[in-house]
Amino acid sequence: METSMIGRHFLRVIVFFLCLLPLCALYGCGGASAARHAEFGSTSHAQAARAKFGPTIHAQAAPTIIVADASAMAAGPDSTPVGAPVEAPAPMSAEGIPVSAEPDGLPAEATASTDSASQNLDAAEQVAAAMTRGGASYTGPVAEGWQPLIQRLEKDPKVRPESLRFFHGLPEYSPAPMGVKVKELFTNSFLRKTPPAPVGDGEPKPPPSRIYRSVVTADTVQKSQDYLIRHKDIFDAVEKKYPVPREILAALLFVETRLGTYVGKELALWSLASMAAADTPERMAGGLGGIPITDKHKDWLQSTLTKRSHWAYNELRALLTYFDTHDLDPLQVPGSVFGAIGISQFMPSNIVPYGESASGDAMVNLFTHPDAIFSAARYLTKHGWSKGLSVDAQRKVLRRYNNLTIYANTILALAESIRTGVLQTGPPDMVRPATAASKKPAAAAPKKPATVSRTVVVQAGETLFGIARANGTSVRALQEANKMGNDTRLRAGQRLIIP
């Protein structure tokens, strides 16, 4: 009997500890705190939110940067890439911030490796589905560092109190996002390199690349052409309403997010809130490492923090207002390091004036391809794009989206490559035929014999792109030669003229 009683007691102890296991899993037993996520560039804050509140954002591999000139990346609207000539700034808002979709230079998120991007083909759609599960109830303590910002939002008549519930699910404040911006601005303001001196017989060094060469490749052109086919009906509808060519839109979306396959790593809400809260040098403690700021820079630093935190606050308010209005969950939404979101990388304040729902309803979801394509076309049109624009005028409109000339040039070159099927080394107005080395006139080339267009018979399963590539021509040339318009559909047995 005594042995039986000991056995029963032992069984009760085992049951007791088994009951404790769910509580340990829920509250953690000595697990990592939010402090481990304070350093920008460590484990993703989107992943931290996902671990706490369940599956949300599709996990994505860290991007491999493939831009041609790393010094030009993330150069802000009031700065120029290190070592580059000073260019005229794009139009500014009343606060001195460009009214662009992304206020800074080509973001690292937008330059992710195409190999990495291809593994996350439906990343944008997954976010679109997750963010519409509104009505989430976030409770528990607010992470350290948010109270001053929350108090400011509570006094703001444009912010609904219900919007503040999302701070209960947000990782703790970090000065790191603002530190990224301050370092970039400090470098361009105080550490700018002088132009290189002429070398040799007075010949200057070759100018920097006109485009991000790694963005304009046969692979990226093929992916963009495939994208145009996959969303042909959307592009047809867009071109009926807006004057922006489909190739420009595809090129822009490729540069921004690899056509929606890489839409950012950090929570846009966390990035904007962190920047909005970083309004004094004291709040930047630990976030200015590696920046040689001295006493003579104090005024500049305070002015920069005031300006940038004010801009971030307005974007944060726009994000909270929009998502709360449509019962969306911002804790499901990744973005760029400076808070741009969606396939088209709009800043939140641009969603209402420039976003457009392809279905015509009130809610714009920039993580869906139809809405992102329509919104990008609307944005460019509202900022001056029209039919018959010169290439230089097109460049100026694209710089309203992002204020780097190399960014605009890359889109123009990629768009022309998509249209013609021939890789371009620069935008159309910068690509010139090679000239002879001597001043003597070149001998006239012998006339080529006249050629007769040939035809091919379409086999079952063949595509227009496949036929174009196999015959050394472009899709557009095939469409024009066969009077197909923008149609890419083929039928078995159809004869195609090969130009």
Token pair 């950012």: residue: 264
The pLDDT of 422-435, averaged and rounded, is 78
Type and span of the H or E element at 406? helix 405-420
pLDDT score of 113 more than 50 = no
pLDDT score of 437 more than 80 = no
Which pLDDT score is estimated for 127? Answer: 86
Higher pLDDT, 452 or 458: 458
pLDDT score of 16 more than 50 = no
Which pLDDT score is estimated for 68? Answer: 30
Which pLDDT score is estimated for 496? Answer: 84
Token pair 């923090």: residue: 305
Which pLDDT score is estimated for 207? Answer: 54
Cα separation, 68 vs 80, whole angstroms: 16
Give pLDDT tens digits for 195-216.
555 555 555 555 556 899 999 9
pLDDT confidence bin for 96, thresholds 50/70/90: very low
Cα separation, 140 vs 331, whole angstroms: 15
- φ/ψ bin of 90: left (φ > 0), alpha (ψ from -120 to 50), beta (otherwise): beta
Which pLDDT score is estimated for 86? Answer: 30
Backbone angles phi, psi at 207, to 5 degrees: -65, 160
Tokens at residue 400, please? 């309203």
pLDDT confidence bin for 468, thresholds 50/70/90: confident
CB contact at 8 A, 478 and 228: no
Cα separation, 41 vs 177, whole angstroms: 10
Domains in the chain with CATH codes? 43-192+209-420 (no CATH), 454-498 (3.10.350.10)
pLDDT, the chain, mean: 75
CB contact at 8 A, 344 and 411: no
Cα separation, 332 vs 133, whole angstroms: 9
Give pLDDT tens digits for 360-405.
988 999 999 999 999 999 999 999 999 999 999 999 999 999 999 9
Cα separation, 207 vs 196, whole angstroms: 10
Which pLDDT score is estimated for 456? Answer: 79
Which pLDDT score is estimated for 69? Answer: 30
Contact partners, residue 160, CB within 8 Å, separation at least 6: 320, 321, 324
pLDDT confidence bin for 459, thresholds 50/70/90: confident
pLDDT confidence bin for 444, thresholds 50/70/90: low
pLDDT score of 165 more than 60 = yes
**First-residue to last-residue Cα distance in the chain:** 98
Neighbours of 161 (CB within 10 A): 9
Share of the chain above pLDDT 70, in %: 67
Cα separation, 253 vs 411, whole angstroms: 9
pLDDT score of 492 more than 50 = yes
* Distances in whole angstroms, Cα of residue 366 to Cα of each of 88, 258, 320, 361: 30, 14, 15, 13
Q: Residue 203: beta bridge partners? A: 199
Closest to 346 in 3D by CA, of 365, 326, 370, 321: 365
**Can you give the pTM of this predicted structure?**
0.66
The pLDDT of 44-51, averaged and rounded, is 39
Neighbours of 80 (CB within 10 A): 20
The DSSP symbol for 217 reads: S
Which pLDDT score is estimated for 12? Answer: 56
Helix (H, G, I), strand (E, B) or coil at 142: coil
Q: Residue 498: beta bridge partners? A: 454
pLDDT confidence bin for 109, thresholds 50/70/90: very low
Helix (H, G, I), strand (E, B) or coil at 334: strand
Do β-strands 266-267 and 334-335 pair in parallel, antiparallel, or remain unpaired?
antiparallel
Q: How many CA atoms lie within 13 A of 47 on its CB side?
A: 12
The pLDDT of 136-150, averaged and rounded, is 85
Which pLDDT score is estimated for 78? Answer: 36
Cα separation, 267 vs 211, whole angstroms: 29
pLDDT confidence bin for 334, thresholds 50/70/90: very high
Which pLDDT score is estimated for 446? Answer: 53
Contact partners, residue 134, CB within 8 Å, separation at least 6: 326, 327, 328, 329
pLDDT confidence bin for 125, thresholds 50/70/90: confident
The pLDDT of 445-465, averaged and rounded, is 67
Tokens at residue 46, please? 């989107």
Cα separation, 153 vs 159, whole angstroms: 6
CB contact at 8 A, 78 and 96: yes
* Distances in whole angstroms, Cα of residue 102 to Cα of each of 6, 221, 256, 407, 449: 70, 23, 9, 12, 52
Give pLDDT tens digits for 225-272.
999 999 999 999 999 999 999 999 999 999 999 999 999 989 999 999
pLDDT score of 58 more than 50 = no
Q: Quick one: how far is CA 285 from the chain centroid?
A: 29
Q: What is the DSSP string of 81-112?
A: -TTSPP-PPPPB-TTS-B-SSSSSSS-GGGG-
